[in-house]
Amino acid sequence: YIYFENKDDILISLFEEQMKAVLEDMVAKISGLKDPARKLETFALTHLQLIEQNKDMAEIIQVELRQSGKFMKEYKNLGFIQYLDLIGDIVREGQEKGIFKKDIIPGVAKRAFFGALDEMSRFWVLSSRKRYDIETAAKQISGYFLKGLEV
């Protein structure tokens, strides 16, 4: 605590450190894949698996960080922006390859896709009862979006 001005700074530092590792892991998982649909499926599964594997950190990010006024109002995290941009890049790639509809706005798609994953993550962190596994949730979420994106 002596290295930080307040609790918000500690939370932001934790988030930055975690985002860097998550971003590197995600890039490593999807970079070798050629099919944009497979990339979205892999993104969803990897994101939810990270939540399952790091429950304590997920709880900090899902609950504590969002209660921080400084984080929500003032903080702009480049790592998180890059994370969202990965989704947008996948959508653009799918459009360029003729797999995804051209009229899909990548900025809207990336936020909607992440929003679904984020809500599932929040549920996973806060709920004591889980009726399905991470793999099923990831397949369902990516499946819904792929049906809407595909030509």
Q: Summarize pLDDT for 111-142 with one digit per residue, the tens.
A: 999 999 988 988 888 888 878 889 999 999 99
Residue 66 has pLDDT above 80, yes or no: no
CA distances from 18 to 24, 129, 141 (A): 10, 26, 23
Residue 18 has pLDDT above 80, yes or no: yes
- The pLDDT assigned to 62 comes to 65
Domains and CATH numbers, the chain: 7-149 (1.10.357.10)
- The pLDDT assigned to 56 comes to 76
- The pLDDT assigned to 51 comes to 86
- The pLDDT assigned to 107 comes to 97
Residue 65 has pLDDT above 60, yes or no: no
Q: Three-state secondary structure along 70-119?
A: HHHHHCCCHHHHHHHHHHHHHHHHHHHCCCECCCCCHHHHHHHHHHHHHH
- The pLDDT assigned to 101 comes to 97
- The pLDDT assigned to 146 comes to 96
Residue 90 has pLDDT above 80, yes or no: yes
Read off the pTM. 0.86
- The pLDDT assigned to 27 comes to 96
- The pLDDT assigned to 123 comes to 87
